[in-house]
Amino acid sequence: MNLRDRILSLREEIQSSIGGITSAEMLEEFRLKHLVRKGTLQAMVEALRDVPVEEKPLAGKELNSLKAFAEGEYKRLKETFDNQGTAEELLDTTLPGRNAESGHLHIITQTMDEITRIFAALGFTVEEGPEIEDDYHNFEALNFPPDHPARDMQDTFHINDPVGKYLLRTHTSPVQVRVMERQKPPIRIIAPGRVYRNEAISARSYCIFHQIEGLVVDEGVTFSELQGTLLSFAKQFYGAKSVVRFRPSFFPFTEPSAEMDVTCYICGGKGCRICKGTGWLEILGCGMVHPKVLSNLNIDPEKYTGYAFGIGIERTAMLKYGIDDIRILYENDLRVLKQF
């Protein structure tokens, strides 16, 4: 290979290695290989002495241009790396920090936790039960007559199991049954959890929702104890000025049964959009545990009495935070979730 070709191939090498230099260390390697006295370019200068005289001008020109190119690139890159500085020099401690985004609990979980805390402070312990239940725990033991509409296919999601007895629980009341099966009075529990109903989805109802069940069984438990406990809950959750009222109602597993309303926390009872002008918000179902439920579970109804209640979480959260469509709670739109 004559000198001119060797210079051209060195140019190719230098050009491609310049393209790959990404650090000051690599640039220094480049300098030591090509630009020092024992480097490739100086070797070419020495070789130039030995070429035939007629080749000298052209080869000399190529070599000068390559040297100028290599030195120019070296200078340019060195300036770039010098200006970058070290990581410490680059750190500007006066800049505002970048916030790490953290998530938070869903409004349903927050509401459930808040209600749980209130009852825990009143001496209730927390129990759980399965979401896949059987007919016995969800209905039969709770004194639902065989033809009760809640057992209808319209309301209950039945599971296509070979035995045909499993379903998705339609309320948290079966946890009452499970607790009484394994524990003798005194019993004082709440059971928060998810329930399922095969209802047409609308602004007011969804196929999934949450409840908190409460159950107290002991000797001498009275309806006034139920009233006092739930009034205390209402004052803590909806505000100290809250007043409650009980309206007669019906549930197969309680006798007598009632629904509890609380004075609207928005208007204080005067009537507004949230309470639909009535001044009252309907917040839960409750009653004295039916003697048949106790005897179904081998608890002597002559000796023991009890009360129970069931709070709908979605409804409670919607009333408290002014949400008018239950579906919003299940869409997981961050623009909504971030508000709570």
Per residue in 101-132, is it b (16+ CB within 10 Å) or e — as a string? Answer: eeeeeebbeebbeebbebbeebebeebebeee
Shortest Å distance, C-beta 153 to ligand DAH: 18
If binding is defined by CB under 6 A, does position 174 make contact with ligand DAH? Answer: no
Measured between alpha carbons, how far is 162 from 208 in angstroms, rounded to an integer? 24
Measured between alpha carbons, how far is 323 from 147 in angstroms, rounded to an integer? 35
What CA dihedral angle connects 248, 250, 256 and 259, to 10 degrees? -50
Binds ligand DAH (CB under 6 A): choice among 285, 313, 318, 320: 285
Strands of 280-289's sheet, edge to edge? 125-126, 187-196, 208-218, 305-312, 280-289, 254-263, 244-251
Binds ligand DAH (CB under 6 A): choice among 237, 306, 310, 319: 310
Q: Residue 180 or residue 308: which is nearer to ligand DAH going by CB?
A: 308
- Residues sharing a CB contact under 8 Å with residue 93, sequence separation 6 or more, in sequence order: none
Binds ligand DAH (CB under 6 A): choice among 173, 229, 263, 296: 173
Measured between alpha carbons, how far is 109 from 330 in angstroms, rounded to an integer? 12
Q: Of 76-84, 202-210, 304-312, 316-324, which segment contacts ligand DAH by CB under 6 A?
A: 304-312
Size of the site for ligand DAH (CB under 6 A): 11
If binding is defined by CB under 6 A, does position 308 make contact with ligand DAH? Answer: yes
Q: Residue 70 or residue 142: which is nearer to ligand DAH going by CB?
A: 142
Q: Of 2-10, 75-83, 226-234, 281-289, which segment contacts ligand DAH by CB under 6 A?
A: 281-289
Q: Of 77-85, 126-134, 265-273, 307-315, which segment contacts ligand DAH by CB under 6 A?
A: 307-315
If binding is defined by CB under 6 A, does position 129 make contact with ligand DAH? Answer: no
**Of the candidates 82, 89, 104, 63, the residue with the CA atom closest to the CA atom of residue 336:** 104
Q: Residue 173 or residue 316: which is nearer to ligand DAH going by CB?
A: 173
Shortest Å distance, C-beta 94 to ligand DAH: 59
Interacting positions 246-275 with ligand DAH (CB under 6 A): 251, 254
Q: Which amino acid is at 325?
A: D
Q: Which amino acid is at 206?
A: Y
If binding is defined by CB under 6 A, does position 171 make contact with ligand DAH? Answer: yes
If binding is defined by CB under 6 A, does position 287 make contact with ligand DAH? Answer: yes
Question: Cis before residue 256, ω within 30 degrees of 0?
Answer: yes
3-state secondary structure of 254: strand
Contact residues toward ligand DAH (CB under 6 A) are: 171, 173, 213, 251, 254, 285-287, 308-310
